[in-house]
Chains A and B, each alone.
Chain A
Amino acid sequence: MIKSLSIIIMCLCLTVPAYSDDGDAILQKVDRNLNPEAFEMYRKLINVEPDGSKKEFIMYSVKKGRDQIASVFLSPASEKSRATLRVGENMWLYIPNVGKPIRITSLQSVTGGIFNNADIMRLDYSAEYNCDKVEKREGLLLLHLKAKTRAVAYDSIKMWLNEKKLLPSKIECFASSGMLIKTLYFKKVQDFGDGIVRPAVIETDSPLHKGYKSVMIFAKIKNKDLPDEVFTLNFLSRVESLR
């Protein structure tokens, strides 16, 4: 009996968080490691179907602060000049020639495939999530993140971090029911210059779409001074002129 009780007490001790650091502070460091405060970048998005067929998109994006991001498609030709803007939870899509931007939601996907708008126009994680718990598991740091509001695309996130670099290696995204929606795998850490060292590839799959995969490859991430006026509806049709 005493032996069993000792084992239970030992197990309980092992599940106590290994880190007393403020999880939210770690999350903010992760955000800064993934990108600077204000920057531009190019991304190639690849949707891979079970039969191996692919569709590729190239986007140019600018981001400033924790919650402002604007993107424009450079290719393919059928999507060229489509632009998206996100300011906090407000999201718009501009379709050239149609004129006025329309409001869209984080759950939709402007590209199809597994990445939704929340993934493509991602804000800082610390802008949308609080860290509930920090653990050390399998040699990695595990952050349990909970959405600050119900407006956030994923109700909770498990973020697996490289402890030294404080860069994610895997992120699991859950619905409020606890169901796993998708998993993001961060790969191929690259030095982009300007002190920006981060994974250049994010792969994602989803148990809801078995056999499908989407990939995001980052290129030319650079610090860039950007006025707030860039992140407005009126400027949305002109984002490409910032290149």
Chain B
Amino acid sequence: MNKTQFTFGVYVMGLFFIFLQPAFCQDEYQFDLSEIEKEIEKKPYYLGGFLEFRPVVFGLDRNAAFYKLKFFDQDEGATQEQYNFGLRLEGGYQKGIGSLYFRADGLLWHDYQGWDNDTVLQEGYLSLKPSPSFTLNTGKEVVQWGKGYAFNTVAFVSRPKDPDDPTEALEGYYVVTADLIKSFMGPLKTVALTPVILPVTEDINDDFGEVDHINFAAKLYLLLWDTDMDLLFFTGESRSTRFGFDFSRNIKTNFEIHGELAWINDFDKKSIDSQGNLSIDESDILRYLFGIRYLTDDEITFILEYYHNGGGISRDSAKNFYRYADRAYDTFLTTGDSSQLTRASNLSKGTLTIAKPMRNYLYFRASWKEPFDILYFTPAIFSIVNIDDQSLSLTPELLYNPITNLELRLRSAFLIGGKNTEYGEKLNDYKIELRARYYF
């Protein structure tokens, strides 16, 4: 099968799964309370998860900087395919005030480099809940802070989420956290304090920052005048000190606004000159976002978010990098010397290969829940615009749950941008992905 046929095959298979599901005709519902009581009987443990199959086709952009950096000495053709198989296992055990929880992912994939696999403990922690107003957790846990949908500027103790898939579960860090909650009558309804201790050693959390330090963070949450508000801070030697504020409020029942602001001290701000030299300037920076979520009478949800990253790569630095990569490729073509390409590749790490590396982005998403009376079907489209260089990604998506516990998602991402722009210089021009998940 050639690659064009494969591309077409993935698309047709996706459409087949999504639209040609057989109807599962069943009887009218039964009213039997004793049967329901059996179903809801509580067990001290549970085990669940999902199986996933995710074939992907990448349409390569052979003129892009990142294509040249990766495949300068190979001919990969116009498309590449990847087959991903996943298994998620999660479970818990509860006894008295104590409980255990774990979530682990096993991945197996095949791409142009052959077969590979990975297993990750995403979360695993012990929780003590002596009362509803106090909880103590210790272990590997996701501590997700912030109100943004696609971006978070105040998520000081978690890994960055992927704006292309912001609802996907993240991997946690090893932490000790507590939750103290107090409720009140009046305009201030809730106050909650969440302190966090995050150690970084060579064995745990080593990708968080500088090792051999213990870091502290805290979040103070208020529900005041029907508005969610958080005051946050992080301090420690592994990363620089930072302070944050976020809020979320419903202006109307179908109209929500949210925002986040983070002030980061002594941030290593990176820039790249025309010769491909990296320089780091330590300075205080501001990151913020502002967003809205609006629901129409037809159940179309619009999400709009503006994100500013004061520590991001500037437009000029990005241009310098792409031009340097082009020159390095030309040198390779004329002399066969790939050392400059290797240098450019190293330069891109920590600068332009991280998610949304530049300064100003706009995220837009529109999703239509159950249009035309098709239950459990949600078509959507979203776009991430790099405001600095006017390049963007555009992703239509179809999500369908045809039968209980089966979730199908078909999406195509198109990357649009000119020369020396973020999306114009990415490895791919487009990506088509089918994701089938069966939960158990």
A interface, CB within 8 angstroms of B: 42, 44, 46-49, 51-56, 58, 60, 74-78, 80, 87-90, 95-100, 102-103, 105-109, 112-113, 150-151, 153, 188, 190, 200-201, 209, 212, 215, 217, 219-220, 227-235, 238, 241-243
Contact = CB atoms under 8 A, between A and B. Distances in A.
Given A112-B375, A234-B221, A74 B404 contact: no
Contacts of B401: 55, 78
Contacts of A201: 31
Interface of B: 23-29, 31, 33, 36-37, 39-40, 42, 46, 48, 50, 94, 99, 103, 122-123, 129, 131-133, 135, 142-147, 149, 158, 167-170, 179, 181-183, 189-190, 192, 194, 221, 223, 226, 228, 248-250, 252-254, 256, 258, 293, 295, 297, 299, 301, 369-370, 373, 375-376, 401, 403-407, 437, 439-440
B145 A100 contact: yes
A234 B179 contact: yes
Contacts of B170: 97, 99
A75 B295 contact: no
Contacts of A232: 181, 183, 190, 192, 223
A76 B250 CA distance: 30
Contact of B33 (A54, A77, A212, A217): A217
Nearest to B33: A219
A233 B190 contact: yes
Contacts of B253: 89, 105-107, 151, 153
Contacts of A97: 103, 122-123, 142, 169-170
Contacts of A46: 29
Contacts of A75: 39
Contacts of B439: 76-78, 80
B149 A102 contact: yes
A56 B39 CA distance: 12
A105 B251 CA distance: 11
A212 B25 contact: no
Contacts of A80: 46, 48, 439
A233 B29 contact: no
A138 to B, nearest CB: 25
A18 B220 CA distance: 55
B183 A228 contact: yes
Contact of A217 (B31, B252, B370, B376): B31
A229 B25 CA distance: 44
A77 B373 CA distance: 24
Nearest to B135: A238
Contacts of A113: 375
Contacts of B221: 233-234
Contacts of A105: 250, 253-254, 256, 295
B192 A58 contact: no
B148 to A, nearest CB: 9
